[in-house]
Amino acid sequence: MRSFLTSLVAIMFTLHIASAVANEEAIEAMNDYMAFQEYESGIMVPQQIDQTVFEASTFIDTRDADQFAEATIPGAINIEWRQVLDRIDEIPESGKVILFCNTGSLSAQATFALRVAGRENVVVLQSGFIGWQKDAAYKP
């Protein structure tokens, strides 16, 4: 029994150390990203989406499936904001990728996660789907 408890304590200690190292690595990656990004990097406003930008971009709707089914930007792909890292292989590595939700707040979190993961081609649509409906330079 004593050897079992000793082994269990050793495993718990190892897991705690591994978790702390992983947290430190994640914090370091986020700090590195934030230290070298320009103020407006990773952001697009609806007025910038003219026909040329629209046709050359991939749109990712980060809202839930029900909201996506109700209405979205034509041609958008639905990947809920919490799933972007799990489904990163479905997100193009080249070309402009524009993430959006209703207002831009959840898609901003998804964009940040993807950019920290090395995807520099992703941007958040500031003001989201609501802003696109109201102010986009081009709406097919």
My answer on whether 65 and 50 are in the same domain is yes
pLDDT value at residue 61: 98
- List the chain pLDDT tens, one digit each, 140 residues: 556 556 545 565 565 565 655 567 656 655 554 445 454 558 999 999 999 999 999 999 999 999 999 999 999 999 999 999 999 999 999 999 999 999 999 999 999 999 989 999 999 999 999 999 999 999 99
d(CA 54, CA 140): 9
Neighbouring C-alpha atoms within 13 Å toward the C-beta of 9 = 6
Say what the pTM is: 0.75
Domain of residue 58 covers 43-135
Residue 140 counted as domain residue: no
My answer on whether 49 and 99 are in the same domain is yes
Cβ proximity of 97 and 123 under 8 Å: yes
List, in order, residues 6 or more apart from 80 with CB less than 8 Å away. Answer: 62, 63, 64, 65
pLDDT value at residue 24: 75
My answer on whether 51 and 12 are in the same domain is no
d(CA 55, CA 140): 10
pLDDT value at residue 39: 46
My answer on whether 1 and 50 are in the same domain is no
- For residue 118, the domain's CATH number is 3.40.250.10
